[in-house]
Amino acid sequence: LLRIFISHLFYVLFLGARGETTELMAVAGAQVVLPCKCETSQCDPAAITWSKENGGTVWRKQSSGLQYWGSSWFGKGEARVRCPHTEFAKGDYSLEINNVKEDDAGLYTCKVELRSRVTVKQVMLRVLQVSVSPSAPVRGDRVSIKCTVTPRLEGTVVQWMLNSYPVVLKDSNIRTVPGGLQIAPVTENEAGAWTCAVQTFDNVLQASVQLTVRGITQPPKDDTKLYAALGSPFTIPCMFSPEIVPRGTLVEKLDSGIPQVFSNRSASSSSWDKSIIIQDVVPENEGRYQCSGTTSRGRLTRTMQLVVAKIVMSKKKDSLMLSCHLSDSSEVTKYEWVHVSYDVNGTEMVGPILKDQTIYVKEDWGEWTCRYYGENGLLGNVTIPVHLTAGQRGEKSSGVSSNTGTVIGLSFLLIILLLVLAQMYKNHQRRKRILQYPALETIVHTISNEREEREKSRVKE
């Protein structure tokens, strides 16, 4: 031991070696840069060696410029570590590590050899990683979320967030355990991005993991409000995670006295989509529904509420009052009316846009749509049936004018036909009267012949 100590002291004093340790923390999967800079005015060419404690050489460059990589740092033919050669002239030999892994944690040494002078710098790399187990739980499972720092760092302060909001542990199904949290039982409310924030040496470092809870995916949570327009088709969702094959699935209406089960109007033939279709929404469809199914982990259920929207019309003197009514308007924050009309060519024209639950318009104006919004955006819309738009009135008047000539012509032909028929009837009646007196017919015929003979004789003379 004494000889080792004396050798190390001689190495430091006579070769100018100088050791410094820098603390770094990186998030697993990210990139980290381990600093190593030459502090003399002329640093190139220098021999650089990066090594990892108990891991051998990571990267090495000879003074001639040749570079070498450790075999364990290659993945799919590409090295995960590199030192940008463009920085060598500045004396910067920092090591870049891409896609940091937990195994990359440890003590690194950068040794710079330049003209018999050796500079040694050390970097302690700690890796922050968040993991969830099991990786894809089913609703009702016990889930563990761990936040680990490798190598372990004493005295760290850890804060947890779910979807960027601080996690509240009081009166919940979440409790702290050594190294992380435990959720039992897990529900869809705990699904999302779990973030572990750790106070590092100079700032706060965060790492996240996505927690996906398998079960019923649509509707996304219990008591979800769904909005449907009166008289329009609507799909009541009941969708399971694709990895789940539920049994005994059904959609039922809960607040109708006896639960009303929908089983023969499925919107899809897939094993995980059991949504049902209502062809024409009526006021009686409003109410609470439940989607349910049985898996190997137990019974899964999800409740929802169907809200029916309609437009109520009433006559007010020379205008029409339109009012947008919802069976439950507790989530509505504002209403918006959009006017749609059509010109003679059928071109759609939009406007004006009014903002109120009740509006007054001219009775013969075109189509009106009521849009209703909540805190997170559009909830739904309902459209008033079109009775007579401007385009339809134009088409009607145009049709009348184009058919006027045709009607007049047909009437004239009909009159002529009636006159011809009347004349034929008169001739027929006269002939019937003559046939009643045969002698008179003979006399008339003889007189006619004699008249013709006299005319012929006159012509000959």
Say whether both 104 and 49 belong to one domain.
yes
What pLDDT score was predicted for residue 392?
41
Flag whether 263 is in a domain. Answer: yes
pLDDT-derived band at 304 (thresholds 50, 70, 90) equals: very high
What pLDDT score was predicted for residue 96?
94
Q: Is the pLDDT of residue 342 over 80?
A: no
Q: Is 427 exposed, middle or buried (0-12, 13-18, 19+ CB in 10 A)?
A: exposed
The domain of 248 spans 216-306
Q: Which of 166-180, 182-196, 231-245, 427-441 has the lowest mean pLDDT?
A: 427-441
369 or 350, higher pLDDT: 369
215 phi-psi bin (left φ>0, alpha ψ -120 to 50, beta other): left
Say whether both 302 and 314 belong to one domain.
no
What pLDDT score was predicted for residue 75?
67
Q: Which of 38-47, 202-211, 367-376, 414-423 has the highest mean pLDDT?
A: 367-376
Say whether both 139 and 81 belong to one domain.
no
Flag whether 169 is in a domain. Answer: yes
Closest CA to 141 of 195, 214, 221: 214
Asked if residue 183 lies in contact with residue 171, where contact means CB atoms within 8 angstroms, the answer is no
What is the Cα–Cα distance from 210 to 193, expressed in whole angstroms? 5
Say whether both 177 and 243 belong to one domain.
no
Q: Which of 105-114, 207-216, 401-410, 436-445 has the lowest mean pLDDT?
A: 436-445
Average pLDDT, the chain: 81
Say whether both 360 and 373 belong to one domain.
yes
Q: Which of 98-112, 330-344, 353-367 has the highest mean pLDDT?
A: 98-112
Closest CA to 291 of 273, 307, 303: 303
Flag whether 452 is in a domain. Answer: no
pLDDT-derived band at 401 (thresholds 50, 70, 90) equals: very low
Say whether both 89 and 27 belong to one domain.
yes
Q: Could you read off the pLDDT of 210-252 as tens digits, one per residue?
A: 999 999 999 988 899 999 999 999 999 999 988 888 888 889 9
Q: Which of 208-212, 286-290, 372-376, 444-448 has the lowest mean pLDDT?
A: 444-448
What pLDDT score was predicted for residue 303?
94
pLDDT-derived band at 433 (thresholds 50, 70, 90) equals: low
411 or 386, higher pLDDT: 411
What pLDDT score was predicted for residue 136?
86
Flag whether 252 is in a domain. Answer: yes
Q: Are strands 106-114 and 117-133 parallel, antiparallel or unpaired?
A: antiparallel
- Residue where one domain finishes, among candidates 127, 154, 188: 127
Say whether both 160 and 205 belong to one domain.
yes
Q: Which of 197-206, 238-247, 363-372, 397-406 has the lowest mean pLDDT?
A: 397-406
What is the Cα–Cα distance from 356 to 378, expressed in whole angstroms? 15
Region 16-21: mean pLDDT is 53
Say whether both 109 and 159 belong to one domain.
no
18 or 20, higher pLDDT: 20
Q: How many domains does the chain have?
A: 4
Flag whether 460 is in a domain. Answer: no
- Residue where one domain finishes, among candidates 270, 285, 306: 306
What is the Cα–Cα distance from 92 to 375, expressed in whole angstroms? 52
Flag whether 399 is in a domain. Answer: no
Say whether both 112 and 172 belong to one domain.
no
Region 22-35: mean pLDDT is 92
Say whether both 118 and 170 belong to one domain.
no
What pLDDT score was predicted for residue 441?
54
- Is pTM beyond 0.75? Reply is no
Q: Could you read off the pLDDT of 343-353 as tens digits, one per residue?
A: 767 677 777 78
Say whether both 226 and 264 belong to one domain.
yes
Region 429-434: mean pLDDT is 64
Number of residues that make up the chain: 461
Asked if residue 304 lies in contact with residue 224, where contact means CB atoms within 8 angstroms, the answer is yes
CATH number of the domain enclosing 334: 2.60.40.10
What pLDDT score was predicted for residue 369?
92
pLDDT-derived band at 269 (thresholds 50, 70, 90) equals: low
- Residue where one domain finishes, among candidates 127, 160, 185: 127
Which helix (H) or strand (E) is 457 found in, with range? helix 438-460
Q: Is the pLDDT of residue 131 over 90?
A: yes
Flag whether 47 is in a domain. Answer: yes
Region 51-64: mean pLDDT is 89
Say whether both 287 and 334 belong to one domain.
no
Q: Is the pLDDT of residue 42 over 60?
A: yes
- Tell me the β-bridge partners of 381: 371
Flag whether 419 is in a domain. Answer: no
Asked if residue 106 lies in contact with residue 181, where contact means CB atoms within 8 angstroms, the answer is no
